[in-house]
Structure 1
Amino acid sequence: MTAHTRRFASWLASLACCSMATVALAAQPTHEYQLANGLKIIVREDHRAPVVVSQLWYKVGSSYEGPGHTGLSHALEHMMFKGSSKLGPGEASRVLRDLGADENAFTSDDYTAYYQVLAKDRLAVALEMEADRMATLALPPAEFTREIEVIKEERRLRTEDKPAQKAFELFKAAAYPSSGYRTPTIGWMVDLQRMTIDDLRAWYRTWYAPNNATLVVVGDVQPEEVKALAERFFGPIPQRPVPAAKRPVELAQPGERRLTLRVRTQLPSVLMAFNVPGAATATDPRSVSALRLLVALLDGGYSARMAARLERGAEVVTGASASYDAYNRGDSLFILSATPNTEKGKTVAAAEKALWGLLDELKRTAPSAEELERVRVQYIAGLVYDQDSITSQATAIGQLETAGLPWTLLDSEVQALGQVTPADIRQAAQTYFSRDRLTVAHVLPEADHE
């Protein structure tokens, strides 16, 4: 190691320590309450601007749905805008728009959430309307008849007519042989075609209760005032029995699964996924932090191993990526993808072999302390940047709580990442990058033959 390299490594280490300390000190005051009916309330103060974000999270998503009933959570999200006891279809959105608010909703495997971003003195309006549709959603049959056609068209546009998305949907279904994460959030088309308004009414009655929800408010607010507003609007809603929801736990070593998917695409690609635990299911929390840093080591920018070795070095791929979601309600996937450099005569098989080369090297040899520190600094910087806005803070808190994880992870994850050693990286690679945890898909143009 040259003197210049040693000075650079020392600077990186100092920056990492500085970043961790800064993030720890920057943690915003956060307050937690619970109403008598079971509604959980988390208020995080951020007084930089007179704005507030209000998010209501329900513990229900596509991983809760069974065969023949997929798409219910997403369809109900659409119908939540179609009227309640106080307002008709679309009227709540018009009121909020007139107040200058931004509002929307989203559904995922583990949750359904509704949010408003608005001036702090108008928070009461958002909470009143949110409480009203929690308690007295209308679900008009005529509105459902129209909206289900919108959802079908959404599926056609976003999945059926997008070859890469369609291939990934099938790949994900194979990669999760046991858990509900195999279910697409929007639902399978056959289930959308046979869904009824009575199905949605039953889903609403089953899951949309105050004791199955978390209200997250972040912004220029006083916590006790938020609590009082929540008590005023949500307090009268009675709690109801909610089914026990088991975590989506995957088979530990389901065996290698391989798919060949032919779609309407010009460029072939390879997808690889390893069944791994998430923060909610891992027996060793440090392995989760190691997997997060492994993503950055492989796919953390220009100097990361995928770009440096496979794209610019061997020129075996024109693009590659890695991803891992640690904050699921259950087990997760460590996903790799690559597009072979066909101009150099490279195939998906060659790209797959190259990806395995990177993984095998990590299993044999731990990264250097300098490389790990560089990756860690970059990753932490990304976390700090991502959590700058009040919406990002609220979303992170809501995701954690709805996945059954404490929101305090948001303020402690930098410290946890700082404890990962090169040996931890190697151990994680050896433990999880095995063929009995692997799903592989070769995605090929329809006319091609391997």
Structure 2
Amino acid sequence: MAAAWALCLFLPGAHAQTTQEFTLKNGMKVIVKEDHRAPTVAHMVWYRAGSMDEQNGTTGLAHVLEHMMFKGTRTLKPGEFSQRVAALGGRENAFTSKDYTAYFQQIEKSNLEKVMALEADRMANLVFSKDEFAREIRVVMEERRWRTEDQPIPLLYESLYATAYQAHPYRHPIVGWMSDLQTMTVEDTKHWYERWYAPNNATLVVTGDVDARRVLALAEKHYGRIPKKPLPMTRTQVEPEQQGMRRVIVKAPAENPYVALAFKVPTLRDVEKDDEAHALDVLAAILDGYDNARLNARLVRTDRVAVSAGAGYSNINRGPSLFVLDGTPADGVTTEQLEKLLRAEVERIANEGVSESELERVKTQLVASQIYKRDSIFGQAMEIGTMEMSGISHKLIDRIIEKLRAVKAEQVQAVARKYFGDDKLTVATLVPLPLSEKKAPPPPKGLRH
């Protein structure tokens, strides 16, 4: 869990890099990070529209439109966008999250303008073909079956989110509920595109061997001519206070049982003031931030009561956050027993605290583990975009590192005491059914990510 949810931060001073921010007249934000170590560029467009912006009955719409963005414009045939990027020797893809949708290309620096022109074209000139939609919606439904319905742990997490959140749209899966996909129309995707895909709802992030002023000139040339749109006023439902433990059981074909415990905890909103979020980040690292962290060292290696045990906390979100403990019990151990053992590790920190030596070791691991992100041009673009979409400026990336370094042992102990009781807890348990003799189907054709 921790590896997948870890906060991606860059160490200041690892390389001399310049980041500049601009805003075009049509409201599009442009962020450029120069990194001249290799003649490559990452070009990303982020739209602040994800599955949390959908309505009941049309879940999955943000993701379906992501697929449709590769199905042609007024000047490009279906699939031609990807063919042109490939012909330039580049790679491209897209992804949808609960908070945003993003599109990217990684190319040799001399081809930046060409991919920028392509991306600007589909921001303004997407074509909605009923035939292409009919083919693509089948791909998405197969993707849902392959990635969620036929996969026990993703299926469990779908139920976990739907149980932990009763009002907030985080309760819906990004891929959408199958019944909504079955009734979705091409007009639905067109309406979503017209509603959200506007320069004033987009952030362009370019990292790599570029000159910021040159990138700005290209952005003005290609994106600057696209008119802004009036953006919809949305009222995201606020999740009501949870008043007691919730449980959900998922029965599915699987090799092993599994349990996940999700506690409602604060989200990082103000980097300077939200010290509890920084302390929770450190707590996650103490439990599962490196090979010899507490959960793995005690439950897996020493006591051998779990095949796997993890902790994860994602505090960079537009919506609320969960702190998750999870694991697969060893033979002879029940999920109920593992559940208690996972909680006992947090209770041990709540009762006994953390030594200064362990805290410093963990913080060093937490910060140092991120240095590799700075070796990736694409990783830098990802971090900038993710921060911006959550409402936290990319300019505060290094400040978050400083705040993590400043976390004290008593702060970690305090959050361990405060947020891990029963009243804010949702537990999801996987009860394995016999595995089918039938082999798993291959990934659906057209699957992009």
TM-score w.r.t. length of structure 2:
0.91
1:130-187 residue CA offsets vs partner (Å, 9 max, x unmatched): 1111111111111101111111111111111111211111112112222111111111
Gaps in structure 2 of 5+ consecutive residues: 1-8, 436-449
Work out the percentage of aligned pairs sharing the same amino acid. 45
Contact 2:10 2:374 in 1 (8 A): no
User: Does structure 1 residue 142 correspond to structure 2 residue 138?
Assistant: no
Q: Indicate how the Cα distance of structure 1 residues 191 and 281 shifts in structure 2: closer, same or farther if over 3 A, else same.
A: farther
Matches within 5 A, 1:157-172: 157-172=146-161
**Matching residue of 2:188:** 199
Q: Indicate how the Cα distance of structure 1 residues 136 and 151 shifts in structure 2: closer, same or farther if over 3 A, else same.
A: same
**Matching residue of 2:410:** 423
**Matching residue of 1:176:** 165
Q: Select between 304-313 and 240-249 the one with higher mean Cα deviation.
A: 240-249
Q: In the aligned structure 2, how far is the partner of 1:214 from the partner of 1:21?
A: 20
**Matching residue of 2:299:** 310
Contact 1:181 1:248 in 2 (8 A): no
Matches within 5 A, 1:291-370: 291-342=280-331, 345-370=332-357
CA drift at 1:383: 1.3
Query: Helix, strand or coil: the match of 1:54?
Result: strand
Q: In the aligned structure 1, how far is the partner of 2:65 from the partner of 2:314?
A: 25
Query: Helix, strand or coil: the match of 2:427?
Result: strand
Please state which structure has a larger fraction of its residues in helix: 1
TM-score w.r.t. length of structure 1:
0.91
CA drift at 1:446: 2.9
Q: In the aligned structure 1, how far is the partner of 2:259 from the partner of 2:271?
A: 27
Tell me the amino acid that sits aligned with residue 380 of structure 1.
V
CA drift at 1:331: 1.1
User: Does structure 1 residue 99 correspond to structure 2 residue 88?
Assistant: yes
Matches within 5 A, 1:80-99: 80-99=69-88
Q: In the aligned structure 2, how far is the partner of 1:21 from the partner of 1:134?
A: 30
Query: Helix, strand or coil: the match of 2:262?
Result: strand
CA drift at 1:252: 4.2
**Matching residue of 1:376:** 363
Q: Indicate how the Cα distance of structure 1 residues 387 and 309 shifts in structure 2: closer, same or farther if over 3 A, else same.
A: same
CA drift at 1:36: 0.8
**Matching residue of 1:412:** 399
1:272-296 residue CA offsets vs partner (Å, 9 max, x unmatched): 0001121137994211111111111
Matches within 5 A, 1:228-307: 228-246=217-235, 249-280=238-269, 284-307=273-296
Contact 1:63 1:248 in 2 (8 A): no
Q: In the aligned structure 2, how far is the partner of 1:424 from the partner of 1:381?
A: 21
User: Does structure 1 residue 222 correspond to structure 2 residue 211?
Assistant: yes
Structure with more relative contact order (C-alpha pairs < 8 Å, separation 6 or more): 2
Gaps in structure 1 of 5+ consecutive residues: 1-19
Contact 1:249 1:331 in 2 (8 A): no
Tell me the amino acid that sits aligned with residue 51 of structure 2.
S
**Matching residue of 2:61:** 72
User: Does structure 1 residue 132 correspond to structure 2 residue 121?
Assistant: yes
Q: In the aligned structure 2, how far is the partner of 1:248 from the partner of 1:30?
A: 35
User: Does structure 1 residue 441 correspond to structure 2 residue 428?
Assistant: yes
CA drift at 1:411: 2.3
Query: Helix, strand or coil: the match of 2:349?
Result: helix
**Matching residue of 2:6:** none
Q: In the aligned structure 1, how far is the partner of 2:187 from the partner of 2:246?
A: 38
Q: In the aligned structure 2, how far is the partner of 1:209 from the partner of 1:362?
A: 47
User: Does structure 1 residue 388 correspond to structure 2 residue 388?
Assistant: no
CA drift at 1:24: 4.3
CA drift at 1:308: 1.8
CA drift at 1:250: 3.4
Q: Select between 391-400 and 80-89 the one with higher mean Cα deviation.
A: 80-89
Q: Select between 310-319 and 325-334 the one with higher mean Cα deviation.
A: 310-319
Q: In the aligned structure 2, how far is the partner of 1:396 from the partner of 1:282?
A: 15
1:360-419 residue CA offsets vs partner (Å, 9 max, x unmatched): 112212200100111111111111112320100001100111111111232222111101
Query: Helix, strand or coil: the match of 1:118?
Result: strand
Contact 2:70 2:82 in 1 (8 A): yes
